[in-house]
Structure 1
Amino acid sequence: MTSASASPSTDPYPCFFYGSLMSTRVLNSVTRPGPEANLISVPATIQGYVRYPYHNAPYPGMIASEDTTQTVEGLLVFGHTLMDRFRLDQFEGSEYTREILPVKIHSPVPAAFNVMDGKKPLQVGDVVQSYVYVFTGPHAHLDQSRPWDYEAFRRDHLDIWMNTSSDFV
């Protein structure tokens, strides 16, 4: 296992995923991690945002909420390389902008993954600066009448999407 400390090929920030990329199958299809990959993922939330389904698509977009107490649950992944990040940028496309935002972790993270201060492990409740792909396309593209449901995505769309989307085949 390799060290997760910052190196020229390791991205300095973890990435918060709140949609289809919460699925390991989707994430690994996009980033194609090699056998040397040293990744860790933990449940996390971001505050002040809401996620809605993209019209006629199985994935969501996340936008700022007028209610700053709202949260979106997701997965925070540590250890991606710069090439992984490039692949993620390509996958997300022009309607999503990668921003650095605070994300609260819900499981401990070993010190080796704390690339901002690798001397201490991250604890439950710690807030870390993270890459987040925020939806910046026209809000009319999102179905704001209902929240996006990850479990429904996994149950109803994941297998079909993985087998038919040009992103994965």
Structure 2
Amino acid sequence: MPELHTAFFYGTLLHPKILQSVIKHQGNELRICPALVLDHTRHQIKETDYPGMLPYKKSRKLFPKELKARDRTVRGTLVKGLTDADMALLDQFEGNEYKLEKIPVHPLGSLKPLSSSSDADIPLEPPPLPPLDELPPSVEAQTYIWAGDLRDLRPDLWEYADFVRENAWKWITDVNPVAAEHQREVNGVITTREFVDADDGKQVKIVVE
């Protein structure tokens, strides 16, 4: 039986439509729930919409003072049942800016099918965390840790709510392309990205394989 993978997502892939677009299916066999990682911080990468996550022992130098324990946590989603093919597509999407590592992740809810998820399942204002010493037991999961230069990260913490309000529309693929495209090579695979002029003058980024 093929090996299945468990992963923790904390950035653009928190958005169900973006994750489904990357793995090229609706996720009928995948199970997802909110989750939390301790002793890590999440930062916006300069001149991008998306974040990188680091262990706090590495990101500590970005902050003028020691962070409280709750500020050294990263909320995200835990996804179970990913196939080797799913992971290959995720590796391609993430590129060489990240490295895949195993970390302990604390589930914060019940698992449910990814295919039944909607944008509303990740609220812009998440509920309060339980006391950190009362978290459910952790499970091992793979996640994409920032592998680039620390100087490429903004010191302020990246917020998913800000991403949804301001930038998520750039990453949704079900829009109509109307203008120029360019290509980039990620790990030997050419991925086409189109930039589309929207009615409001913004540019929409679409990933087309």
TM-score, with length taken from structure 1: 0.78
Q: Is the 8 A contact 1:16 1:131 kept in 2?
A: yes
Counterpart pick for 1:31 among 20, 23, 46: 23
Aligned residue number for residue 71 of structure 1: 73
- C-alpha deviation, 1:75, in angstroms: 0.4
5+ residue gaps in structure 1?
1-6, 111-123
CA distance in 2, matches of 1:27, 1:153: 15
Q: Residues 168 and 42 from structure 1, CA distance in 2 versus in 1: closer, same or farther, beyond 3 angstroms?
A: farther
Provide the aligned length of Structure 1 versus Structure 2. Answer: 146
Counterpart pick for 1:95 among 94, 97, 100: 97
Residue type matched to 2:205 in 1?
A: S
Is 1:159 the equivalent of 2:169?
yes
CA distance in 2, matches of 1:34, 1:109: 16
Q: Is the 8 A contact 2:171 2:206 kept in 1?
A: no
Residue type matched to 1:97 in 2?
A: K
Q: Is the 8 A contact 2:8 2:79 kept in 1?
A: yes
Aligned residue number for residue 149 of structure 2: 138
Aligned residue number for residue 21 of structure 1: 13
Spell out structure 1 runs of 4+ moving beyond 2 A.
66-69, 160-169
TM-score, with length taken from structure 2: 0.64
Q: Is the 8 A contact 1:47 1:68 kept in 2?
A: no
SS of equivalent to 2:92: helix
Aligned residue number for residue 127 of structure 1: 138
Aligned residue number for residue 148 of structure 1: 158
Q: Residues 167 and 141 from structure 1, CA distance in 2 versus in 1: closer, same or farther, beyond 3 angstroms?
A: farther
5+ residue gaps in structure 2?
58-66, 113-134, 174-203
- C-alpha deviation, 1:108, in angstroms: 3.1
CA RMSD, Structure 1 to Structure 2 (Å) = 2.1
